[in-house]
Each structure stands twice: as C-alpha cells, then as structure tokens.
Structure 1
Amino acid sequence: MKLSIEKTGLKEVQHLRISFLEERKVQFVLNKCHDYGWADIYLFVMDGIKIGYGAVWGSNQRTDRDTIFEFYILEPYLKFAQLVFLRLQMSSGALYIECQSNDSLLASMLYEHAADINTEAILFEDRQETGHAIADVVFRKVVETDQMGSDDSDYVLALKDGIVASGGLMLNYNLPYADIYMQVKAPFRHRGFGSLMVQELKKLAYGLGRVPAARCNINNPVSRATLIKAGFEVCGYRLKGKVKSFS
C-alpha cells in the first residue's frame, strides 16, 4: 500500500468536496475559506487512487495555515482514516483541529488526537414554523433614509419611533444554506423583537430557495434562547483543540 499526501488546488478535489457536503447535509460554517482562498488543500492518493482530501487554514491568523478544518475520505477507505489523518497532520504541520460536532469523521479525529478541546459556538437548524407578531412592527428592507450608522444590515424591524432591530442573511455558506444574523437595539431588548426578526429572516431565506441556519457563541444564552424561540434547534457545536504530540 502506497499513500501520498499531495498539496493541490481546490479544482482537483472539487468532486470530493461535493460528496463531503452532500453526505453531511448540514450548514458548513467554514465553507467560505475555499471561496476566499484562505485554505491549503491536500489530496490523499492511495495506490494511485484519489481517496479523499484535507484542508488547513489559520483560525486565529488566516495566513498561518495551522488548523485542520476539513477531512474527508471515501467510504471504502475509511478503515485507513487514522493513518491518513496522522500523515496529513505531519505533512501540513497543523497544530490545531477545528470542526463541527455534526461532522462525525473529523470530530472523531479531534477527540482522539487533540487536547484542550473547547466548544466555541452552538449550531442551529430550523425545526419549527413560528407565528410571532408585535403590533405596529414592520419587517422591511433598509432604505436610504434609515439611520444605520456602522450597521450594514440589509433588513430591519421598524416601529413608528424608528428601527428596533436589524439583520440579514449570510450567503457564503454551502448551498442551500443561509446563515441568519441579527441584533436588537438596547432599549428594545427582552421584548420579543429578536425572535420576530429571526422568524422573518427565516421566511426570507425560504423565499430565496435557501434553508435557514444559525449559530451563536457558546457564552451567549440570550441569543440561544432567541433562536430557539424562533423555531431553531441545536444541531451541533463548533469545536477546537490542540494536536497532541506524536513523538
């Protein structure tokens, strides 16, 4: 058996990435790393056959390329996953592993080969349609007369007194997912505007042919409660750990 780990370009592994995303059927948070050229790609070749790929980026400094964030092997070759992963880590010099808990293959590598594992964010998928409503509140697109300051959101909730919340969709995730973001102005918090905003952004996403998804910091219970109230459900976590020494 001859195994080689070859640094390559995205085009060479695109067919494998398609399989990776189709098999997982979840929003992949770091998909943008490929779109923006933030990743180094490694092709796995065994006895002349392309069996998978890995991707490395810099999770703290993008130029560092010190973190494995994608790891995929075709099903017939999964029995070699441990060997391939260790070879990838040595070839890339990666010091960290970053993954989603709903990506079972890389998560298993994280649990076995990393220490100091931290949960950085909670991932959500849509599970329920909600019917929140607040009198006199309008969900609409931002217009030129809106006083947005440094807020570059595309949509707002407006009362006659002005804007109470803003948000939008991030579309740089793997299709068909759209990531919802929002914020409520301080004087209007804890009054249901956040869940209403999320609810309306969910409708917008579906109208665009997208599947709404969301995430929040692990230390943000208010955001978590808002998303759940708007019909989302926890579907995973973003995890990061430091690669153990193999010496």
Structure 2
Amino acid sequence: MEVAVSKVGLADILYLREMFLRENEMQFVCNKCHDYGWADTWLCTVDGAIAGYGSVWGTDRRQDRDTIFEYYLIAEYRNLAREIFAEFKNASGTTLVEAQSNDLLLTSMLYMFCSDIHAEAILFEDHLETSFSSPDTAFRKRSASDPADGDDSEYVLVWQDKIVAGGGLMLNYNFPYADVYMSVKEGYRQMGFGSLIVQELKKLAYKIERVPAARCNINNQLSQATLQKAGFRMCGFRLKGLLMK
C-alpha cells in the first residue's frame, strides 16, 4: 500500500470539502480560513486513488502553516485514518492540531497523535426559543448618529435612550450557520441585556435564512451563562494539541 500526500489548490479538493461539511452538519469555525486564503490544502491518495484531504493554517500568525485544522477521508478509506494522517503530518511539517470535538475523525487523530491537549472554546447551537422583553428597550440597527464608543457592531440594544449592548452576525461560518456575537457595556451587565440581544440576533439570523450558532472562551463563564439563558446549548469544544514527534 502506498500512501501519498501532496499540496494542491483549494479547487482540487473543493468537492471533498463539500462532502465533509454535508456529512458533519455543524458550524465549522475555521471555514473562514479558506475564504480568506489563510490555509493550504493537501490531497491524500492511497495507491494512486483519491482518499481524502487535509488543511493547515497558522494558529498564531496567519502566514504560518503549523496547524492541522481539517482532515477528511472518503468512507472506504477511514480504516486507514491513522496511517494517512501520519503521512499528512509529516508531509505538511505541522506541529499542532486544532479540532472541534464534534468533528469525530480529526478529534480521534488529535488524541492519537497529540499531547498537551486542552479546550480553548465552547461551541453552542440553538436549542430553545426564548421570549425575553424589557420595558423601554429597543433592538435596532446601528445608525450613523450613534456614538461608537469603541464598538463597531451592526446592531444595538437601546434602553431608556442609551445604548447598553451591541452585537451582530458574522457570516464566515459555512452556510447556513451564522456566528452570533455581542457585548454589554460596563454598568449595564447582569441586568438581562445580554440574553435579550442574543435572543434578537437569533431571530435576525432565522429571518435571513441562517442558523444561529455561537462560541465563547472556555473560561468566560458569564458569556456561557448568557448564551444558555438565551436558548443556546453546548454542542462541542475547540480543542488544541501538540503533535508528538
């Protein structure tokens, strides 16, 4: 058996990426790496036949290519996942793996080949519809006359004529997912404004035919609580590990 891995253009493995996204049915955080040209792609073959692909990017600097973040094999070659991955990591010269725990193939490789494994972020999916409201509060698009105050979010939450929170949707996840982000101004936190603006951003996502998703740092307990209160639930973790030599 001859396993080979060679660097190719994105167009050469695009149909394999489509299979990967279709099979996993999840928000893929690193999708933007391909959209923005931050990644290299590698084609995997077994005895000359296409078996799958992998992708690498720079975990700290975009110009680096030190981290495997994507690995997909056609079903008939998954029994060779370990052997193909070993060739992939050697050919690419990578030193790290980043995986979503709901991507079972790459996560299994992470635990086989890596040490110093830790979770960096929690992934969330929509679970419940909420019905929060607050007197004298409005959710609207930011206007040109609104004070920026260091916040460039597209939407704001206004309470008693004061902007108390901002947020929006990032569309750099794979379709149809939208990444919900928000922040609440100091002095107005723990008053329910965070969960309220998340609720309204979820509604906005569905209105434009997107599926709301979210993530937050593993140590940010306040954001975790806010997202869960607004109807999100945990669906995975962003894991990172150091490839063993």
Pair in the same fold by TM > 0.5: yes
1:192 paired to 2:192? yes
Distance 1:92 1:167 in 2: 38
Partner of 2:153, secondary structure, is coil
Structure 1: gaps of 5 or more residues: none
Q: How does 1:50-129 map to 2 (within 5 A)?
A: 50-129=50-129
Amino acid at match of 1:78: R
TM-score with structure 1 length normalisation? 0.98
1:226 aligns with 226
Deviation at 1:119, TM superposition (A): 0.5
Paired residues in the alignment total 245
Distance 1:130 1:192 in 2: 13
User: Once superposed, which parts of structure 1, at least 4 consecutive aligned residues long, lie more than 4 Å away?
Assistant: none
Give the superposed CA RMSD: 0.7
1:150 paired to 2:141? no
Distance 2:161 2:141 in 1: 17
CA distances 1:137-196 after superposition (whole Å, capped 9, x unpaired): 000000111001321100000023310000000001100000000000111100000000
Amino acid at match of 1:67: T
**Aligned-pair identity (%):** 56
2:177 aligns with 177
CA distances 1:27-59 after superposition (whole Å, capped 9, x unpaired): 000000000111111001122221100001011
Amino acid at match of 1:30: C
Deviation at 1:26, TM superposition (A): 0.5
Partner of 1:198, secondary structure, is helix
Structure 2: gaps of 5 or more residues: none
Distance 1:116 1:46 in 2: 31
